[in-house]
Structure 1
Amino acid sequence: MCFRTKLNSKIIEIEKAFNATFVEPELYTPQEGINGFDFLSNPVVTNDAPGELLFFNWGLVPFWAKNDSLKKSTLNARIETLDEKPAFRNSVENRCLIIANGYYEWQWLDEKGKTKQKYLITSSEEDIFAFAGIYSHWQDPATGKSIGSYSITTTQANELMSEIHNNKQRMPVVLHHRDHSAWLEGASHKEFAFPYEVNLKAQKV
């Protein structure tokens, strides 16, 4: 699972890392902690506009939804069943890169999770990385506004994350930089399920 992320790099650093330009740089605010349940807009690169950094809301709302209430359950999407779930199956080919410096996870220190240890998870390979994401465009019936939204794909936990996320045994799909284009251009999503993985590191916070 992945409900808390971090993105505090400078705009110029993000643009360089993804060879893309912020369309609305004034919307960007560096943040040590981004809470998915706030459903805020965050920087993404989509397959429709690979040279642009756009702001989409976290919590995918499928185009057919009557309202946006589904976003509460679409912060994450299991990559193994993307093409099976009604909320996601129409967005399997709508690929995006979700920009981050890290994400947070809590290790249960007792059976019921009453005591937890917080960790910051980062990539061992690069300071700024991307989660494999899917997205949708939904038209708000109240305002007529088109809203872009996304979900972070998750997969089976690797050895490190099995120890840390020990109650759910899941982790977000972090992409190798070399695989950004393959994800955006529609490579089979199943190729990015575990054992596909990036070297991660964790520190207590």
Structure 2
Amino acid sequence: MCYRFSTQFTAKQLEEYYTAYELENEYHLLDELNGFNYPETAIIMDKAPTEIVVGKWGLFPSWAKADFQKKANTLNAKIETAETLASYKGSVHSRCLIPAHLFFEWQWQDAKGKVKKKFEIGLREHQVFSLAGIYNLWTNPDNGKSYRTYSILTTEANELMSEIHNTKKRMPVCLNRAMDKDWLEGRNLQDFSYPNYNPDLVAMESSGGIVDLFSPKKNSD
């Protein structure tokens, strides 16, 4: 899953990386965002791929009422089922990119998860990369105010993430620059699921201020 990620980048980095310009800048730039705070972040939408705007994490389908998030968790959408579930199926053709610097996941060290190790995961040789998202322009029926709301797509974990996210074994769909265009242009959803697409991720363990490179186990020839 993906409930925390970093937005430690600058507007200039985003504009250069995406060849886009910042239309709105009221988004959070933090070393670690918590999805359950429903933060507003930078996004790039399929309808305007040269514009950096603001989106609210946690998708509201068109039929949702104002208290929807008290009843449903739409921070993530499983890529395997997004096309069939009521909360997401109306948005699978509305694609967006969510710029990230890193995302975070915890590795359970015991059966009940009382002892965990925290990892920072990113895309190799990328200071910025995209989390694949779907979005909906939702209007609050109580006050008429409109919001761009989104979910981050997740897929089965690859080898590295299976070692780290060793309980549910999921990971967000992480796009390199070459894949951003394909995502926004509506390429088949399952082309981005693992193992059809396997991002080149790297991870570091964070513990007590010490950061060590984490590498998955290699198969012997």
Aligned length: 204
SS of the residue corresponding to residue 82 of structure 1 reads coil
Aligned residue type for 1:6 = S
Q: How do 1:29-178 residues align onto structure 2 when only pairs under 5 Å count?
A: 29-70=28-69, 72-178=72-178
Q: Which is further off, 63-72 or 38-47? A: 63-72
- Distance in 2 (alpha carbons) for counterparts of 1:135 and 1:87: 11
Structure ranking higher in helix proportion: 1
Q: Is the 8 A contact 1:175 1:197 kept in 2?
A: no
How many Å apart are 1:97 and its aligned residue? 0.3
> Which structure 1 residue ranges, 4+ long, deviate > 4 Å from structure 2?
none
- Distance in 2 (alpha carbons) for counterparts of 1:50 and 1:32: 25
Q: TM-score, normalized by length of structure 1?
A: 0.96
- Distance in 1 (alpha carbons) for counterparts of 2:119 and 2:93: 32
How far does the alpha carbon of each residue in 1:48-67 deviate from its partner, in whole angstroms, 9 at most, with x for none? 11111111100000011122
Gaps (5+ residues) in structure 1?
A: none
How many Å apart are 1:80 and its aligned residue? 1.0
- Distance in 2 (alpha carbons) for counterparts of 1:171 and 1:29: 23
The change in CA–CA distance for 1:47 and 1:140 in structure 2 (over 3 A counts) is same
- Distance in 1 (alpha carbons) for counterparts of 2:175 and 2:56: 20
Q: Is the 8 A contact 1:125 1:199 kept in 2?
A: no
How far does the alpha carbon of each residue in 1:83-108 deviate from its partner, in whole angstroms, 9 at most, with x for none? 11100000010000011001000000
Q: Is the 8 A contact 1:63 1:136 kept in 2?
A: yes
2:205 is aligned to 204
How far does the alpha carbon of each residue in 1:157-200 deviate from its partner, in whole angstroms, 9 at most, with x for none? 00000010001100000012111111101100010000112111
SS of the residue corresponding to residue 31 of structure 2 reads strand
The change in CA–CA distance for 1:68 and 1:91 in structure 2 (over 3 A counts) is farther
How many Å apart are 1:68 and its aligned residue? 4.3
Identity percentage of aligned residues: 43
How many Å apart are 1:29 and its aligned residue? 4.0
Aligned residue type for 1:17 = Y
The structure number with the bigger radius of gyration is 2
Q: TM-score, normalized by length of structure 2?
A: 0.90
SS of the residue corresponding to residue 90 of structure 1 reads coil
Q: Is the 8 A contact 2:28 2:39 kept in 1?
A: no
SS of the residue corresponding to residue 85 of structure 1 reads coil
- Distance in 1 (alpha carbons) for counterparts of 2:149 and 2:137: 7
